[in-house]
Amino acid sequence: MSIGVAIASPVILLVLAGTNYLPAIPLLFPVMLQSIAVGLDVGVGSAFQALNKSEYGIGLNIFMLAVFVPIGYLLIVHLSGYGAAWFYGARYLVHAILGILVVICSSDLPKCPTRVQAACNKFNRQSCGTIPLRKKDHVSEE
């Protein structure tokens, strides 16, 4: 939905604000990146807390500051407002993508096939590597 609004936003801006705000139209598309990133990044902080890895979120924010402050400075100096808009949108999008990758890489993915893992969970067994499965232990996929 936000992509649709971003595509229609130049027309909406012209109709509602008139031609005085015509220079703002190129700034709308870089800011669209930020709205996409918010949708992706909404659960990353909660995932870090659920995984008990809050320090990863703090480290990611420090990394983003160290990398993106110089990039943002250069963009703003050379492109002024347009550079600021691209900096704003790109920083949010990169943060969301890196946050999702850190959550995926730091989580303990199941080492067993899903059917075996479901059977282990059903019978409250801690390890599923050595469990002999009988026909009744199989979980149906219905």
Model confidence band, residue 125 (pLDDT cutoffs 50, 70, 90): very low
Higher pLDDT, 58 or 40: 58
Spell out the residues 6+ positions from residue 83 whose beta carbon is closer than 8 angstroms to its own.
72, 74, 75, 76, 77
Mean residue pLDDT across the chain: 78
Q: What is the reported pLDDT for 137?
A: 47
Whole-prediction pTM:
0.65
Asked whether the predicted pLDDT for residue 54 surpasses 50, the reply is yes
Would you tell me how many other CB atoms lie within 10 Å of the CB of residue 103? Answer: 21
